[in-house]
Structure 1
Amino acid sequence: MQWLDDSPIGMLTLVNSLPLRYCDNPIGMLRDRILLAVPVSGGDSNLAEVLTVLIVLLLVATGVALISRRLRIPYIAGLVLAGLAITELLPETNRIRLDSSLIFNLFLPILLFEAALNTDISRLRSTIKPIALLAGPGILLCAGITSVLLRLELGLDWIPASLVGVILSITDTALVIAVFKEVSAPHRLVTLVEGESLVNDDVALVLFSLILTVYKTGTLSPLYVVQEFLFVIIGGALVGAALGYLSIGLLSQSDDPLSSILLTVAIALGAFQAGQFLHVSGVVAVVVAGLIVGNFEHSQVTSASTQVTLFSFWEYAGFGVNTFIFLLIGLEININTLWETLPAVFLAFIAYQVGRAITVYPLLATVRFFDRPIPMRWRHVLFVGNIKGSLSTALALSLPLGLPGREKLIAIVLGIVLVSLVGQGLSLPWVVRRLKVAHRSESYHQIEELQAQLMTAKAAQDELDDLFKSGVLPKAVYEEMRAAYQVRVAASERTLRDIYNQRPGRASESNGESLSDALGDSEALLRSAGRTKLDAIRRQLLLAEKGALTDALRRRILSEEVVEERIKTLNEQLLKLEDD
């Protein structure tokens, strides 16, 4: 199987999993230095130099982290600027370089799996309609508009313009999510951004491969497009589901944190490679496997300590990969080339921003007809947060060697990535705060503290019960420790009940004053926060009801007429709930 030699789509064919029977001639998608720019000769001395460079990069990343925290600027934007600043200081012969195969086969699976692992399926399901709108028709519209404008502005042929149009339609959420963590953005907005990115990546990869097929063969039938699109998406989902459920079974057999980490790493990388081998979407396979492990792994499959270790490892893995990839993006950019292509970069920047604006504002305005409306402030955030990153860079580096103006196209994309990460990245925190997207005040913080106290106390009580039943704790010690936790549970439940029921707290009444007298205007804020929090819980319950109805219909317990009527009622109730 001569995958890398005979494919006209090269490495990208493997990623997007189009059948290789359509490939007949090489185009040299892999560059001479695949992973590291390490000379063949020199042996131990060259290895020592590469290790020295790695140590320097780690120290630079640490310094950037400290400085960005002090200056309150996004860490990722700081990494790109640091890489740009030190690019001339590192020796050219031993410099670590970005390569499409490195990003596709290592970095991308880790980032996708980490994102999917931390995505709540119930929230993803509740936001699936706007996500599908943005990642389906949205990316087609954005790529089409961007391609047309690139052809008009830069005089590119249709194939290069279309390839760059798809590349610039991809969104990278790493920096956006980092900003959201600082300002406590609403959960639905976070899910919308994460969900769009998860689906957007795969659709863009398929489109990119189809355009490359047109470039090679000169033709492409609509039937072939539909067949291949469905084949790679559905096939990738099946591969990911199989590996995800297999991992759940293996995790249940051995409750060991280190073994769980090794298994999930193997699943993340293996799902991608399995997708390549079977000519289906490796991206979809990784995402589906991550969703399954992240959402079903909690259900009494592993212990709490294993879960904490596992999720901590993947948080670190995602952080480490993002650190290296964005630092290397800065190293990859040549200042002289960037300066020469700056006018073209500026025009391309305008083109994809116009495409994004026409995609976000009109499309999301239609959401109110079939789902909860997307606030205008959120649409502003989605527009400004249209940041390019690792996947756009990888696709640019994987452009065919024979493509007219390839080096110029790569320079334009890298310039866009730099402008996007630095310009939009530095302005995004200010925009988010200015738009007052983060409506979580001290009232929200107080409620979440009470929820945290209640959840942790109940979890500790459950663990105590297990320890007592297994004979580890004597009854006297068990009762004393459980009573201490029960005091915390009772206090949290009483306060939360008062907030949710919108009535004064008993503690204030016992002191001879009402809660409104004690808190003044903050009472209204607290009650508003309580209502919104309670709406979030009610939304989860309504989604659970919808899931039960769907399952009953599938098992033919209830008739379709009854289920449809009930689901319609539940949808109306969901639409009336406030966004959290």
Structure 2
Amino acid sequence: MDVTQLVKVSIILLVLATGVALLSRRLGIPYVTGLVLAGLPITELLSRPIGLNPTLVLNLFLPILIFEAGINTDVSRLRSTFKPIALLAGPGAVLSSGIVAVLLKFGLGLSWIPALFVGVILANTDTVSMIAVFKDIPVPSRLSTIVEGETLFNDAAALVSFNLILQVYSTGSITFIEGIQQLLFISVGGCLVGLVLGYLSIPVFARLDDALSSLLLTVAVALGTFQVGQFLGVSGAVAVVVAGLIFGNLGLSRNTSASSRITLLSFWEYASFTVNTFIFLLIGVEINLVTLWKTLPAILLAVLAYQVGRVLTVYPLLAGVRWIDRPIPLRWQHLLFLGNIKGSLSMALALSLPTTLPGREVLIAIVFGCVLVSLVGQGLSLPWVVKRLKLSKFSEAQQQVEELQAQLMTGKAAQDELDSLLKSGVLPKAVYEEMRSAYQVRIAGAEKTLRELYNRRPDEVEGGSGKSSKLEAIRRRLLLAEKGALNEAMRKRILSEEIVRGRIQNLDEQLLKLEDD
């Protein structure tokens, strides 16, 4: 396809996406589901066929999505929910892949390698639809963090597993020990690449004095980290995850000006939205309904297989979380099971299957069918499921608290910016004091009202549990800060390990007693 044709196709897709956005909001359906449905008849309208290019998805789209998720992920929140996330994205993904592979091998008569390929592909979750629902229907923040964290690490785990199976297919055989060694090399190597490039980008970012140059650096870090990882034979996806987390939590520090932060985060939000728009439209374009109809029995069996795999991993693994972390409520587990939606990475991996693999076209049709069923069936029902499970607890009292918190946070952020402007000589002291005092009045009013709300007994105000969960979230952050200080003191040999271990055990017990926020 030449440049002129590419521009024309892009314009058609953008206009179509705009129409889908308007229509999906009016009909109350998820945006990504609307995109897939709208993409189904596109091929008939174009003179030349277009489709989802796996190389483009894996080398351009995927690093953008992962890096955007990484820079927007709060490491302190991720750390507080890391155990359930690690169980779902690690052992959960491997176990689910194995269950799907076994069911498809004996259900469809596949050989082990094709079955394992499809197992890994269908064990991957794409939670774009779930995150979109969470924006409209507030859910507990810990649940939202688990969903986002699982997606962040699940994509990387899927790519690592897929490449490992690809190596087994290429070489003919691999021993268990060699497989473990290769898995560790790919994963740990990816972490090291992400750590190095992430930390190296921070001093460069600090020396750039304008937002646009900083923006170019982040794009280079996101795409370059993936390519360096691939070149070194380690996981580029893992490297981008780590680099994004480091840059988002250390690079975008308080020393970064407010305008630069807004410019960077807005750009990455737009980039992620644009990539998702094109991906889900192209998913609809790529799906051939005639082919899917012919393979419908196999598709339905595959859908059943990945749902069984999800059931047998989510519930047992999260039931055991209570022994090592705060328990995961059963309603949350229901949502994590029902929100098991497939998306762009599953299709890209299916298109990346070796051309010499027996039955490749049938396997691709099965994966495409599963993606369509999950996006339409589960995607359309997801808002209803969230409401039915009564996960939203956004009371009037909680809304009042959050509005006051927003007033307090924005006032203090503006004061910090004023201090920076005064220090740099942009503002004269008289203007600085006048503007700062106006913000101080706003801050004092918010602090007074918040103090009165927090000092009330829970039974004095409707939605007291919402207020209580806010305090629980604050207490959790304070306890995690205490743990961090103790670990740092032990690392620097300021405190002995015996003293630190005892205090950390006490802090862990306090964390387990806190309610979920």
What is the CA distance between 1:298 and its match in structure 2? 3.1
Does structure 1 conserve the Cα–Cα contact (< 8 Å) formed by 2:302 and 2:370? yes
Task: Look up the SS of the partner of 1:578 in the other structure.
Answer: coil
Pick the aligned partner of 1:557 from 485, 490, 494. Answer: 494
Alpha-carbon distance in structure 1 between the residues aligned to 2:421 and 2:357: 66
For residues 68-127 of structure 1, the C-alpha deviation after alignment (integer angstroms, 9 at most, x for no partner) is: 1111110000000000022211123xx332121111100000000011111010011111
Q: After the TM superposition, which residues 111-190 of structure 1 pair with which residues of structure 2 at under 5 Å, given as runs?
A: 111-190=65-144
Where does structure 2 lack aligned partners over 5 or more consecutive residues? Answer: none
Task: Look up the SS of the partner of 1:87 in the other structure.
Answer: helix
What is the CA distance between 1:244 and its match in structure 2? 1.0
The answer for the alignment partner of 2:468 in structure 1 is: 531
Does structure 2 conserve the Cα–Cα contact (< 8 Å) formed by 1:251 and 1:302? no
Pick the aligned partner of 2:479 from 520, 539, 542. Answer: 542
Task: Look up the SS of the partner of 2:310 in the other structure.
Answer: helix
Alpha-carbon distance in structure 2 between the residues aligned to 1:475 and 1:144: 67
Q: Is 1:570 matched with 2:471?
A: no
Alpha-carbon distance in structure 1 between the residues aligned to 2:397 and 2:192: 44
Alpha-carbon distance in structure 2 between the residues aligned to 1:136 and 1:167: 15
Q: Is 1:391 matched with 2:345?
A: yes
The answer for the alignment partner of 1:80 in structure 2 is: 36
Alpha-carbon distance in structure 2 between the residues aligned to 1:302 and 1:369: 41
What is the CA distance between 1:150 and its match in structure 2? 0.9
CA distance 1:113–1:471, shift in 2 (3 Å): closer
How many residue pairs end up in the alignment? 517
Q: Is 1:481 matched with 2:481?
A: no
Alpha-carbon distance in structure 2 between the residues aligned to 1:472 and 1:140: 56
Alpha-carbon distance in structure 2 between the residues aligned to 1:470 and 1:267: 29
Alpha-carbon distance in structure 2 between the residues aligned to 1:427 and 1:176: 11
What is the CA distance between 1:196 and its match in structure 2? 1.1
The answer for the alignment partner of 1:261 in structure 2 is: 215
For residues 99-158 of structure 1, the C-alpha deviation after alignment (integer angstroms, 9 at most, x for no partner) is: 211111000000000111110100111111111111111111111111111122211111
Q: Is 1:62 matched with 2:18?
A: yes
The answer for the alignment partner of 2:336 in structure 1 is: 382
For residues 198-223 of structure 1, the C-alpha deviation after alignment (integer angstroms, 9 at most, x for no partner) is: 22222222222222233233321121
Q: Is 1:400 matched with 2:354?
A: yes
Larger Rg: 1
Q: In structure 1, what residue type is equivalent to 2:304?
A: I
State the percentage of identical aligned residues. 67
Alpha-carbon distance in structure 2 between the residues aligned to 1:201 and 1:180: 20
Where does structure 1 lack aligned partners over 5 or more consecutive residues? Answer: 1-37, 39-45, 505-514, 517-522
Q: After the TM superposition, which residues 202-217 of structure 1 pair with which residues of structure 2 at under 5 Å, given as runs?
A: 202-217=156-171
What is the CA distance between 1:390 and its match in structure 2? 0.9
Task: Look up the SS of the partner of 1:561 in the other structure.
Answer: helix
Alpha-carbon distance in structure 1 between the residues aligned to 2:364 and 2:77: 37
Alpha-carbon distance in structure 1 between the residues aligned to 2:255 and 2:420: 15
The answer for the alignment partner of 2:419 in structure 1 is: 465
> Quick check: 310-319 or 229-238, which moved more?
229-238
The answer for the alignment partner of 1:409 in structure 2 is: 363
Q: Is 1:89 matched with 2:45?
A: yes
> Quick check: 375-384 or 213-222, which moved more?
213-222
The answer for the alignment partner of 1:103 in structure 2 is: 57
> Quick check: 216-225 or 427-436, which moved more?
216-225
Q: In structure 1, what residue type is equivalent to 2:41?
A: A
Q: Is 1:51 matched with 2:4?
A: no
> Quick check: 240-249 or 316-325, which moved more?
240-249
CA distance 1:496–1:341, shift in 2 (3 Å): same
Does structure 2 conserve the Cα–Cα contact (< 8 Å) formed by 1:251 and 1:301? no
Does structure 2 conserve the Cα–Cα contact (< 8 Å) formed by 1:361 and 1:379? yes
Q: After the TM superposition, which residues 423-438 of structure 1 pair with which residues of structure 2 at under 5 Å, given as runs?
A: 423-438=377-392
Q: In structure 2, what residue type is equivalent to 1:551?
A: E
For residues 257-293 of structure 1, the C-alpha deviation after alignment (integer angstroms, 9 at most, x for no partner) is: 1111100000000000000111111001111111011
What is the CA distance between 1:469 and its match in structure 2? 4.2
Pick the aligned partner of 1:456 from 410, 416, 441. Answer: 410
Q: Is 1:295 matched with 2:233?
A: no
What is the CA distance between 1:577 and its match in structure 2? 1.0
